[in-house]
Amino acid sequence: MGEPVSALRIGLVGAGYISGQYLGTLARTPTLRLTAVTDLDPARAARAAAGTGAAVVGDVAGLLARDDVDAVLNLTVPAAHAEVALAAIAAGKHVYGEKPLAAGREEAAAVLTAARAAGVRVGCAPDTVLGTGIQTARRAVDDGLIGTPVAATAFMTVPGHEVWHPDPEFYYRPGGGPLLDMGPYYLSALVHLLGPVAEVTGAAAAPRTEREIGSGPRAGQRFPVQVDTHVTGILRHAGGALSTLVMSFDVHASRLPRIEVYGTEGSLSVPDPNCFDGQVERYAADRREWEPLPVSAGYPGAGRGTGLADLADALVFGTPHRASAELAAHVLEVMLTLLDSARQGGTLPVTGCPRPAPVDLPATGTGTLPVQRTAAPR
């Protein structure tokens, strides 16, 4: 047995709806400890801190000034992601935040530059790709179970979030749309499976100029659409494989797969990248049938915040963390360049990133992360 686990002390900025899932992961992960919470709504911050021993802090500056905060969990609205991250970096704190990393390329680059200069780590969701679903699929690709990968498809097709969301307007304003909303899950998975993207060709449309709220007290109200709601693209990965991407808020129903990978010796059915687990299936050309694959990689029982726990372990062992700012910046550039291509026409290049390391099954138990440490977080 190793020495007792030394936990990374976490300051939470933004205690909205998604924070509940992160708090659950923090509570069951010995390598993470919540020490401070702040939110624009003090009552919401108090609810998040209740029963954890964490302090409720009046503002972001106060949280960043605390000596018992090693890393900031940034769950603010997307428009504030870069601002909060840069402030945390300036205070010498590590940062892990929700996607996207920033609103644009320049802000993302500023975060990366500041983190390197300060010698701190920055991580970014989605971390669903670290679960057993995507990682088992990646292991199958890396082990050659479908031969050499030549292509992939990735489809996210829904009728639009106004069907269920009582206040859906922000999904249809600049910075929203199906690609920027859900693309990070699918694109992060494709990078894990096939490596970084080298160039993209895109097309996009907004078939409807207005949408109607379908639920809640404002049901029946109409609002304008300001973004493309159906985006398609061809991605050429650095390794040569081609991925076909469709992200849409304009499809009432379909039977399309989430993600499939096609190789010279078979095909792979990959589970929903918005989830941490799910069944992976392989079609072997010589057997001519689909078969389920056993879980072979990834963090079992993972939840939102596993990427932060992975970052904490990476600090201990001096290894790169997997849900990295570099990957998030690459995914953001892929999405923005795809939209540029849709407007300008033609194929456009994309700056690459390192392919994250795979996740082996933990050697101990079924917890989300191994905890046999012999060093404290740096």
* Strand order across the beta sheet in which 122-124 lies: 55-56, 32-38, 8-13, 71-74, 94-97, 122-124
**DSSP for 230-280, written as a single string:** EEEEEEEETTS-EEEEEEES--S-----SEEEEETTEEEEE--TTSS---E
**DSSP for 97-163, written as a single string:** EPSPS-SSHHHHHHHHHHHHHHT--EEES--GGGBHHHHHHHHHHHTTBTBSEEEEEEEEE-S-GGG
- What superfamily does domain 129-293 belong to in CATH? Dihydrodipicolinate Reductase; domain 2 (3.30.360.10)
Q: Which of 99, 282, 304, 321 is catalytic?
A: 99
DSSP secondary structure code for residue 77 in this structure: -
Q: Tell me if residue 300 falls in helix, strand or coil.
A: coil
The residue ranges of every structural domain in the chain are: 129-293
Token pair recorded at residue 66? 């605390």
pLDDT digits (tens, 9 = 90+) for 274-323: 999 999 999 999 888 999 999 999 999 999 999 999 999 999 999 999 99
pLDDT digits (tens, 9 = 90+) for 218-252: 999 999 999 999 999 999 999 999 999 999 999 99
Q: Tell me if residue 195 falls in helix, strand or coil.
A: coil
Residue listed under structure tokens 């939110």 = 39
User: Would residue 99 show up in a list of annotated catalytic residues for this protein?
Assistant: yes
Q: Torsions phi, psi of 211, nearest 5?
A: -130, 160
- Reading the chain (378 residues) residue by residue, the pLDDT tens digits are 344 458 999 999 999 989 999 999 999 999 999 999 999 999 999 999 999 999 999 999 999 999 999 999 999 988 899 999 999 999 999 999 999 999 899 999 999 999 999 999 999 999 999 999 999 999 999 999 999 999 999 999 999 999 999 989 989 998 889 999 999 999 999 999 999 999 999 999 999 999 999 999 999 999 999 999 999 999 999 999 999 999 999 999 999 999 999 999 999 999 999 999 999 999 999 888 999 999 999 999 999 999 999 999 999 999 999 999 999 999 999 999 999 999 999 999 999 999 999 999 987 544 445 443 434 444
